Amino acid sequence: MRIQKILVTGANGQLGWALSQAAKVTPNFEYIFLDRHAMDLSIPSELERIVELFAPSAIINAAAYTAVDKAETETKLAHTINAEAVAEFASIAKNKNIPFITYSTDYVFSGNATSPYTTDTPLAPINFYGQTKADGELMALAVNPDAIIIRTSWVFSSHGNNFVKTMIRLMKERDSLNIVGDQKGRPTYAKDLAFASIQVLNAINAGATIKGIYHYANAGETTWFDFAQKIKELAGLDCQLTAINSDQFPTPAKRPAYSVLDTQKIEKELNLHIPHWELALSDCILQLKNN
């Protein structure tokens, strides 16, 4: 079946919003964007009825429970949204024989590696949020081996809550900030991830077989401290930044020290050029200034 109508969940989130912007310049698809009021993933039993209502030819699940620290206590809600609802979508897509894309995280890994994580690195989450996303992957693929799972990391955009917008706000409010400097990863611009997701569907329409796990993050790796330094530079702000270690900034959920994703698989299969995170950040800050 040719993909024409795409149902997108999480319309108000960073990725859902980025997909809605990308939709304006990719008119080869019809899109249905649903927010949490229209499609509540905390009630998985309702999802099939809503999918039936819109009869899409593909589903992109851009909704998720993303409050990493809160997940340590809101365990049931986090697991329902990130695992049970994802498995339900995968099952619905399997029964309807339509493509299903959902997103996972670098937090499914231990953070102990010293070289980038490939798509077949064993899962070993160190916090409950990571566990819910790992469970979601396993449960979705168990019911639907054709499900497409895109792991990503350090997502930012000009919309919603994220590190870039928080840093800009804090740097305007304060003279100095301490930023964790011993965690390393790859920032991901939601806009670039949205276009890559649409390319997945274009490739399927062109006859490509795309299924299973992929990694997508912008090119180049960095630390939160160096990320913040670049934000400061590009936003033209004047705030003293000091690098600290993770143990100086304790959080309810433990964070992986190293979560660099290897993106070679998606680059190769989609013939994709992934922009460097600094270029992406520059575009994001320009969008924020224009807004």
Write out the catalytic residue numbers: 129
Token pair for residue 240?
């003293």
- Return d(Cα 53, Cα 41) in angstroms, integer: 16
Would you say 184 and 225 are in contact if contact means Cβ atoms under 8 Å apart?
A: no
Q: How far apart are CA 14 and CA 155, in angstroms?
A: 8
Spatial separation of the C-alpha atoms in residues 141 and 66, rounded to whole Å: 21
d(Cα 291, Cα 285) in Å, to the nearest integer? 10
Say if CB 282 and CB 234 are below 8 A apart: yes
CB-based contact 47:83 (threshold 8 Å): no
Q: Helix/strand/coil (H, E, C) string of 191-242?
A: HHHHHHHHHHHHHHHCCCCCCEEEECCCECCEEHHHHHHHHHHHHCCCCEEE
| Tokens standing for residue 77 | 């809600």
